[in-house]
Structure 1
């Protein structure tokens, strides 16, 4: 393997480890370039050789938490018989993990990144390919940072299998995303707990889904 690649991966891992420690100790909102550089025992200028900005570093750090979700997905989908089952199970898995670390998931899917986040994510998986699973098309979904595009991955299969009309696919996707974002913010604010958030999100998604099913 290329020595420059290994050096880049090793050094970036130092910074990601440091940022992860700060997130666990102080919360994601308290991560700064200086704190991360100090904890990793580098200077800030070196950090900028590997990350374009703080958002870039936080996204790479947050991606570690996606790994647990990604590796859990096949278990959730084990007994799914069709696209409709897969759609529901993917949402259940996503909610279970997202509401456990709400600020992390908000940083991944809703933070206003100035550059192309999909390129960041593709680069992340080039560095850490062991974290990208291959299971029934799910690897493609994991490469999408845009939550609307991720949602359409499973909804498109529901259309193909005749559960949802093509003209209703965007409606279902947008409703699910808006519900998730709104409840995620409530969890971050502490107005509802994790279990309530999962139950409420899944209830509303199923109500929306049932209203759009082809009878």
Structure 2
């Protein structure tokens, strides 16, 4: 790496790590460009040479807190062999961690990041490659995809190829399971429910499992929906 590129990489890390420190100490709502600049020892204008807006800093800093989740899902995937079982266990891990730390998962998977390239995760792992060391090779594409619809679809592809779900229902399963999680997640994030994380997990997984295990509940398809 050339000296200029090395310096740029170091500066990028300084700002991300400063943001992470603020999140740890004060919380997500307290992150500002000025605070990050002060913590890193630079002026606010310098940050804009590396990040377009504060949401990008929050996103990259939040990625540093996902290791517990990624290690958990990697370990969990080793317990089963069937793709559909892996899919359900992956959802269970995702629900468990997202309900425990809703602000973190909102920052990574739900927050509006404005007009920014789709390769944000690739950019992060280029700077922090050590975070991928123990992650299963077959799950890396799923982790690198921020779009939840694409993440879920790629995971279901393996179950489809194994003949565990039908081709006509794969998109419906993907969409409905995401909507179920999003509904519960938004309630938890915005304190619109009294459910504790463990109860939210059980209820969400009960619905998701029913959808995945019993495809007959999906009595609609794209053509019937378009006809209404």
TM-score by length of 1: 0.91
Q: Is residue 67–residue 132 contact of structure 1 (8 Å, CA) maintained in 2? A: no
Q: Does 1:100 align with 2:100?
A: yes
Q: Is residue 83–residue 161 contact of structure 1 (8 Å, CA) maintained in 2? A: yes
Using the TM superposition, name which of 176-185 and 107-116 deviates more. 107-116
Match of 1:195 in 2: 198
The runs of 4+ residues in structure 1 deviating greater than 6 Å are: none
Distance 2:104 2:157 in 1: 27
Match of 2:209 in 1: 206
Distance 2:107 2:200 in 1: 18
Q: Is residue 13–residue 127 contact of structure 2 (8 Å, CA) maintained in 1? A: no
Using the TM superposition, name which of 118-127 and 138-147 deviates more. 118-127
Q: Is residue 132–residue 142 contact of structure 1 (8 Å, CA) maintained in 2? A: no
Larger of the two Rg values belongs to structure: 2
Q: Is residue 67–residue 131 contact of structure 2 (8 Å, CA) maintained in 1? A: yes
Point out where structure 2 has 5 or more consecutive residues left out of the alignment.
217-228
Q: How many residues align?
A: 214
Q: Where do residues 148-163 of structure 1 align in structure 2 (5 Å cutoff)?
A: 148-163=149-164
Point out where structure 1 has 5 or more consecutive residues left out of the alignment.
none
The Cα of 1:69 is off from its aligned counterpart by: 1.7
Q: String of CA shifts for 1:10-51, please: whole Å, max 9, x gaps.
A: 222221222122222332122111111112221101111111
Distance 1:210 1:197 in 2: 20
TM-score by length of 2: 0.86
Using the TM superposition, name which of 180-189 and 133-142 deviates more. 133-142
Q: Where do residues 132-171 of structure 1 align in structure 2 (5 Å cutoff)?
A: 132-133=132-133, 134-171=135-172
Distance 1:156 1:14 in 2: 39
